[in-house]
Structure 1
Amino acid sequence: LSADGICVSLFLCPKNYVDVATLGVLATLTGGDTTHYMSFEGGRDGDRLRGDVQNALGRTFAYDALLRIRTSNHLKPQEYFGNFCMRNATDMELAGCDALRAFACSLRHDGKLVDRDASFQAALLYTTGDGQRRIRLHNLVTPVTTEVAQVFKMADLDAIVNVTMKAAISRSVTVPLKEVRESLNAQCVRVLVSYRKHCAASASPGQLILPESCKLYPIYCLAMLKRRAFRTGNMSSDVRVASMRFLKSMAVEESVAFLYPRMVQLTQMDPQQLRMQGVTNVPKGIRMPTRLRLSYERMRPDAAYFVENGVSLFLWLGAQLPATWLQDVLGVGSLEDVDLTMRRLPVRATPL
């Protein structure tokens, strides 16, 4: 199918096991997505399915695409991550590619870097929706250094997390999941040990030293281990494989939010200020409250919190939440009256 320019995206709505590992290969090799709705129920998951299909059909799309990554001398692409088909060692074939698709590539040295800069180019040859054949180029030039401290200083943590996750998913195809989990922990330790050895050797042995650019790397690694893709225990293989396929094509910004969701306190939003701004039903231009760390200790019983990871949205209501807030937002007078099965918030004629 990939050779014929046919891209397949799967929306699986089963009640029971359907072997996502086998079915998903069709989407993986043609550049598509695999979306799995566990124990599908129309009343519960219908809106999500409708929205996912609409989003998939509404994105900017490239057809019959070919992606190649070029590097300067003494650097060479080693491994590619994402949903694509490779018939040779250099070209990623994509029957289809939309605006949210993301790929990763690891590099290796095949000689000494003698130049001051290293150059990279990602070239995508594709056909637009109106039949035009185009090439999109992304060029990048980065300085070369022999100082480990400079490497840590300029490190992009979000990109590191994304590539780490995709590499672990690719490795899980050939090694047991237990080894993949252990390798994630070992890689995190190696990064921190390397920094201490080369950049903070004079520090006290009992002092915890973390590089400024990667100080959150352990938290992200822990978050990976809690994702369904890497979680052990009694879990359906369909759920685990679907999660792996989903994460494998995720962009950098999306993966960071998915691993460490965003949380804000909704009761910090001042209704009087919203009235002064003339806000009606569409909250455009509203300044959201400051994001909070994901810790139960930071959640007050008299407040409401909004947590989202780009895929799921959660509304957490404290046991002592004021009745006036519940009435303004949900139209009920107490927590006991809140419908826990509702999938949409009611539209209220109030600023909140």
Structure 2
Amino acid sequence: MGIGRVKREEVSGAYGTTKEVDLYTPEDNNAYETLARQCAEHHISLDVFSVANTFASLADVGRVCELTGGRVQYMPQFEKEQSSNRHHLTSMLQRLVDRDCGYEAVLKVRCSAGLRVEHSYGNFFNARGNAFTTDEMEFAVIDQDRSMCVTFAYDEPLAEGTDAYIQAALLYTRSDGLRCVRVHNLALQVEPLLSNVFRFADLDATCSVWQRSAARQFVDKQLMRATPMAVKESLVDQCVTVLFNYRKFCASSSSSGQLILPESLKLLPLYTLATLKSRALRGNLVGNPPRGFIDVRADERVMMMGLLNSLPVEFCVSAVYPKLYSVHDLADDCCTLDEDGKFILPPQLPPTAEKLDEEGIFLLHSAMCCYIYIGPKASPELLLDLFGVDHADTAEQTLTLFETLDSEPPEGDGMSARERLRSLVEYLNSTIPISQPLEILTKNDWRANRFMSALVEDRTRNDVSYVEFLVQVHKKIQYKFH
């Protein structure tokens, strides 16, 4: 009801087709677009928390976040009666309130002759032109949990032996009202050797640019109405092109049967595959029941694409390549503080089903997911310690880890297994800009498919395994040579 009433419907038949992009693209001249621009012009930032089980058209509603420097949080299974849901929502709101912010911010990016700003990515506003190609960005609020990305293009050849200059100047107001300017200057030597470009390549920055570019392709009506499959193929082609150029121009002579990877980018195929399998970019099985089911609904994908478009660079890889921990066999000192006050983590496992054990309990964590998976043969004693039940079947039960405690949990040797696991989840959530609700599940739970598909090194119903992806990339590189 009212001005902001959601008018369009979720068309299930659009998933997996060229019309799917319409579900992620804001309608022209909608009320939320108008509200977003008014808020941005008056330096008001908005965050949206959606707890609706029905279609909320976050592509439209989320514009108020995209243009004001805010963020969308989507929680469709939210039930206020569940303490874990209340705990997660409270934690997210507390982080929003407690963070240090800059207000009424303007970022200007300048570069020396021969270079120009080509594209800009992030949640910001530009009142004077196309935000995608601007060198000036406006933010109602800016903080450490958000970042912007700028790519450059050549206007003319750069002379060898000279320096190229880049400046990023941020004008903002502190919480105490003081107007400040923060300036970053870079003098970068023009490098004539392509081998040195690969040698000093930044893997995290490369992944961040590619993720943002892919997220934009999803919603750009000018790009031939890109489908998830077309966007994924474009991302694979970028990976292949980079590795092909390294093999052609930099690698020493070697057997054509070898896949040659630059040292700085040796994990590029792995993180490319992880990005492809993320819930922001993975393909949907087409909507009609005879052909499959809908894996990622539009509102969830809108949230995830917004996340990729705004995450700080240091978190972009860990967002798509989750951390897997075995939590049924924690060492005595795990999930406590060492003598230097640092949190002791259990050993991290690669996200693959090969590391799972039917008798084990595992935590899978990233900025895009948070799952506790209970093996079908998990110890009844451990289940009782962790969840207060001696048998777990989340298809029929609702398990929680975050019920209200009468007192603060003890530290060190006095901590129970439940308190250790709770401390681990809370610590991991505190290390990332945004977290997802904790989901506790067993093998026969419908959410088990979501957990298994987050094990990005494995083959899934729609995607290949990491080993198979390496083979595909190698074949594409060989094809380019012929």
Q: TM-score, normalised by structure 2?
A: 0.66
What residue is the counterpart of 2:187 in the other structure?
A: 141
Deviation string for 1:54-99 (max 9, x for gaps)? 2112111111100011223322211000001122443101111122
What residue is the counterpart of 2:307 in the other structure?
A: 246
1:264 to 325, 328, 349: 325
1:16 and 1:39 in contact (8 A); partners too? no
Report the residue type matching 2:66 in the other structure. T
Separation of aligned partners in 1, 2:57 and 2:386: 42
* 1:68 lines up with 2:113 in the alignment: no
1:52 to 92, 115, 124: 92
Deviation string for 1:199-227 (max 9, x for gaps)? 22511111111122112212222222222
Deviation string for 1:234-253 (max 9, x for gaps)? 34322222221222111122
What residue is the counterpart of 2:75 in the other structure?
A: 37
Report the residue type matching 2:278 in the other structure. R
What residue is the counterpart of 2:264 in the other structure?
A: 213
User: Normalized per residue, which structure has more strand?
Assistant: 1
Alignment of 1:186-335 (within 5 A): 186-200=237-251, 202-233=253-284, 234=294, 235-271=296-332, 273=333, 285-333=342-390, 335=392
Deviation string for 1:125-178 (max 9, x for gaps)? 011112110011223333331212111111111111111000111122223123
Alignment of 1:36-185 (within 5 A): 36-44=74-82, 45-86=85-126, 87-88=128-129, 89-114=134-159, 115-174=161-220, 175=223, 176-177=226-227, 178-185=229-236
- Relative to structure 1, the CA distance from residue 218 to residue 145 in structure 2 (aligned partners, 3 Å threshold; closer, same or farther) is same
2:331 and 2:346 in contact (8 A); partners too? no
Separation of aligned partners in 2, 1:199 and 1:183: 24
Separation of aligned partners in 2, 1:167 and 1:220: 15
Separation of aligned partners in 2, 1:68 and 1:230: 30
Per-residue deviation, 1:294: 1.1
1:13 and 1:36 in contact (8 A); partners too? yes
What residue is the counterpart of 1:12 in the other structure?
A: 50
1:11 and 1:34 in contact (8 A); partners too? yes
Separation of aligned partners in 2, 1:158 and 1:181: 19
Name the SS for the 2:41 alignment partner.
coil
Per-residue deviation, 1:186: 0.8
Separation of aligned partners in 2, 1:340 and 1:152: 52
Per-residue deviation, 1:102: 0.5
RMSD of aligned Cα (Å)? 2.8
Name the SS for the 2:256 alignment partner.
coil
1:301 and 1:319 in contact (8 A); partners too? yes
1:330 and 1:338 in contact (8 A); partners too? no
Separation of aligned partners in 2, 1:270 and 1:232: 39
Aligned residues: 347
Unaligned runs of at least 5 residues, structure 1: none
Report the residue type matching 2:86 in the other structure. G
Name the SS for the 2:91 alignment partner.
helix
With 226-235 and 338-347 compared, the bigger mean Cα shift is at 338-347
With 36-45 and 155-164 compared, the bigger mean Cα shift is at 36-45
Q: TM-score, normalised by structure 1?
A: 0.88
Name the SS for the 2:52 alignment partner.
coil
1:181 and 1:225 in contact (8 A); partners too? yes
Per-residue deviation, 1:42: 2.2
Separation of aligned partners in 1, 2:169 and 2:301: 33
